[in-house]
Structure 1
Amino acid sequence: MTTSPNASDSAEPSAPLPGSHGPGATVEAHPRSVGTVRTTYAPDPDGDPDPGEIVWTWVPYEENDGRGKDRPVLVVAREPGGTLLAVQLSSKRHNNDREWVPLGTGPWDRAGRDSWVAVDRILRVHPAGMRREACALDRGRFNLVVNRLRERYGWR
């Protein structure tokens, strides 16, 4: 039996997804008020989220009404307190949209669909809020994303 990456697809009640509630919840971060951000590329397949990795966590909807869904995010920086800054991925087409960086395909999407990364919304991910590591993104595509973030927010 195959399992869906989105636990809400199941008809059976289940435990809340990591990152969906409590002190380890994934939340939106205001990119211009998070302080100095130094993006780094430091993937390490150790089971913990690291900059340069795509991980799965619960992500709140932009309406901030308590709803959200399990989805992949690209970790771009580690904050001094141990939290991480990330940007969400989507398989919805965003061609010619400056708010989205095209990534192409990768092992984070079992269906092999093209993906895009949103640079207009920054997420704060707690290590305990991560459901699983998907993969390390190659440095070239990581740099495309962080260069756009640096351009937009003045990060280093």
Structure 2
Amino acid sequence: MTFQHDHSSDPSTDFPGRNGPTATAEADPREAGPVRTSYAPDRDGAPDPGEIVWTWVPFEENDGRGKDRPVLVVAREREGTLLAVQLSSKQHERDHEWVALGAGPWDSSGRASWVDLDRVLRVHEDGMRREACALDRDRFDLVVVRLRERYGWS
């Protein structure tokens, strides 16, 4: 049996979005100012609303650990940052509200994914590792409608 080391929590391994001014951070969705969600994917290598991108996501404990994972970009902020929600291939039974996305090209194993509506992240353009794909409009709208209801976004 072969075990692979998971470098995602290893502080000696650097990932875009992990450290410095372009670090991915949790955002307070109710204090983000006026948030205008939009569907604007553009395969240009930069993160855009409607796209799933890979970035470093800190664990909720905020203890320096985290994981390189896919996030769905839902809005662009005036400052040039983006708001996103994290994806997971595990259906969670915790207190968080999750929206089922199903499977897509962001997961090379073809596993179904869920989006965590309770945890909004602020992502920097230079803090992402790669652009994975554009989510189709119907699934994007499903997530955004729930975010708008929950946080009063437009």
TM over 0.5: yes
Distance in 1, Cα, partners of 2:78 & 2:96: 29
Residues 60 and 98 of structure 1: CA distance in aligned 2, closer, same or farther (over 3 Å): closer
Gapped runs of 5+ residues in structure 1? none
- Which residue number corresponds to residue 80 of structure 2? 82
Partner residue, 1:101: 99
Taking the aligned partners of 2:35 and 2:50, their CA distance within structure 1 comes to 15
Deviation at 1:86, TM superposition (A): 0.1
Cross-structure match for 2:116: 118
Partner of 2:62 in structure 1?
64
The answer for the alignment partner of 2:53 in structure 1 is: 55
Residue aligned with 1:89, SS: strand
Give the 5 Å matches for 1:125-144. 125-144=123-142
- Displacement of 1:8: 1.2
Shift of 1:93: 1.5
* Aligned amino acid, residue 105 of structure 1: A
TM-score by length of 1: 0.90
Conserved in 2, the CA contact under 8 Å of 1:7 and 1:17?
Answer: no
Task: Find the counterpart in structure 1 of residue 43 from structure 2.
Answer: 45
TM-score (norm 2): 0.91
Q: Which runs of 5+ in 2 are unaligned?
A: none
Q: Structure 1 CA distance, aligned partners of 2:69 and 2:16? A: 11
Match of 1:8 in 2: 7
Instruction: State, as a whole percentage, how many aligned pairs show the same letter.
Output: 73
* Aligned-residue offset at 1:94: 3.8
